[in-house]
Structure 1
Amino acid sequence: MPDALQIIVADDHPLFRDAIVLALQASLPGCRTLEASSFSTLEAMVREQDTLDLVLLDLSMPGANGFSSLVFLRGERPEVPVVVISSNDHPRTIRRAQQFGAAGFVPKSSPVAVIREAVQAVMDGGAWFPAQKAERSEEDAQLAARLAQLTPQQFRVLMCMADGLLNKQIAHELGLAENTVKVHVTAILRKLECHSRTQAAVLVKALQAEGGDDAATLPE
């Protein structure tokens, strides 16, 4: 008998998570769902789970910086498809989600049937995005390619750099030796083609999504 599908539902609104879990259980009977309400919780789950089949991701969880959680997932578990479910359905946000590696994008205002359709398409090895998308951005493509060169640990260090932490503070935050952090910072600046920590922080700001903040919208 095949193992049950393991799916993470990452969203900071409990009612929305409940609605998504019910939709998943109806369309994928027997699947095992794990719930994350923050980026730190998601990060821990991804590390702990040997087998993971899908992540449904809200972009605006506490601890996340725009598309940073998506970029982290693609770096940490590139074999696991990610479907972004967001109330920020600006055309450029949808296109950027695709360029940063999402397998699908579903607006939170979508009815349950659409969410199920998107999940099934992705689980079948395909992709699912709304019909109307912004044009491809070469700038975003270059940013995605640079970020893809970072190891998961380097990406964590980069997020700390973007928060203005010094090497000593980053070492304490991540449980690393300060010299190790220095080595990571040097590698990060080289891979991102940046001459300073400030330039690297500006690149992280470029991960911000278009439009306003996400808000919980329950599927119909």
Structure 2
Amino acid sequence: MRILVADDHKLIREIVASHLEKGGDFEVSQSENVNQVIQQIEDTGSFDVILLDVAMPGMHGLQGLQTVVAANAPGSTVLFSGTARRETVNDAINLGARGFIPKTLPARSLTNAIQFIASGEIFLPAAFHQDQIEGPTDGPPIQNLNPLERSILRSLCTGNTNKEIAREQDLTEVTVKMHLRAICNKLGAKNRTHAAMLAREAGIA
């Protein structure tokens, strides 16, 4: 899997690149500004996932993101930042970003997040989901689940393991774990058993 770490802080780039190269089947490149990102895409083709620092030179707000998203298609581009306002993340997703990875994400979770994004999903950290469900909603938490999350939850209620759910949904186990975490956060569930109980109470199991 080809990954591009785009950040103007050399230390951050090198730490992230080193971890990814050691912890997964990744070929990692680095860039320090938007112009370099575009040039590397033109030289070597699109990357599977680009981690794009939201405050990197050449970004000009989200204008740079939009440029990189278009240039890197059909690969995925995700915001990579120490902090990002929810409004900024939502705007970025509307422009084609595949979510937001905070620089504070634990190393192992970073690898899982990248695999999740590469599978075609949108990644948001657990805290982001929690912020969303704590605010006003249009209905019960169950209604906040998307169709795939509902399907995974129904499968969970039948007692299937992550491996069995992955096979049933044609997903990887890592992707299933990410979805289950999002489901628990959206439902306010403490764990998968609690999520299954809430699903049965809501009548979707």
Bigger helix share: 2
Pairing of 1:151-190 with structure 2 (within 5 A): none
Q: 2:99, 2:123 within 8 Å by CA — same for their partners in 1?
A: yes
1:28 paired to 2:27: no
**1:115 corresponds to which residue?**
110
Question: Residue 12 of structure 2 aligns with which residue?
Answer: 16
1:74-85 to 2 correspondence within 5 Å? 74-85=69-80
SS of match in other structure, 2:51: strand
**Equivalent pair of 2:98/2:122 in contact (CA under 8 Å):** yes
Structure 1 residue 60 corresponds to structure 2 residue 44 = no
Partner of 1:42: 37
Task: Indicate conservation of the 8 Å contact 1:71/1:101, yes or no.
Answer: yes
The residue matched to 1:110 in structure 2 has which SS? coil
Give the Cα–Cα distance (whole angstroms) in 1 for the partners of residues 52 and 46 of structure 2.
17
Amino acid at match of 1:79: P
**CA–CA distance in 2 between the matches of 1:126 and 1:33?**
20
User: Relative to structure 1, is the Cα distance of residues 39 and 82 closer, same or farther in structure 2, using a 3 angstrom cutoff?
Assistant: same
Distance 1:40 1:51, change over 3 A: closer
Rounded to whole Å, the distance in 1 between the matches of 2:65 and 2:106 is 23
Offset at residue 113 of structure 1 (A): 2.5
Query: What is the alpha-carbon root mean square deviation over aligned residues?
Result: 2.0
Aligned-pair distance for 1:41? 1.0
- In the TM superposition, residue 35 of structure 1 has moved relative to its aligned partner by 0.6
Percent of residue pairs identical: 25
Displacement of 1:39: 1.3
Give distance in 2, aligned partners of 1:20 and 1:92: 26
Cα offset, 1:77, TM superposition: 2.7
Counterpart of 1:65, as a letter, is H
Q: Determine which of 74, 78, 81 is the counterpart of 1:86.
A: 81
Query: CA separation in 2, counterparts of 1:94 and 1:64?
Result: 14
**Structure 2: distance between partners of 1:65 and 1:101:** 16
Query: Does the Cα contact within 8 Å between 1:58 and 1:86 map onto a contact in 2?
Result: yes
Listed one character per residue, the Cα deviations across residues 7-42 of structure 1 (whole Å, up to 9, x for unaligned) are 11100001111121123223323x221110011111
SS in 2 for 1:75: helix
Matched letter for residue 22 of structure 2: A
TM-score (norm 1): 0.54
Deviations 1:126-163 (A, max 9, x none): 2211313599xxxxxxxxxxxxxxxxxxxxxxxxxxxx
Runs (5+) with no aligned partner, structure 1: 136-220
State the shift of 1:104 in Å. Answer: 2.3
How many angstroms does 1:107 deviate by? 1.4
Matching residue of 1:69: 64
Q: Contact 1:10–1:36 at 8 Å: present in 2 too?
A: yes
The structure with higher relative contact order (CA 8 Å, sep 6+) is 1
Q: TM-score, normalised by structure 2?
A: 0.58
Name the CA distance, whole Å, in 1 between partners of 2:57 and 2:10: 13
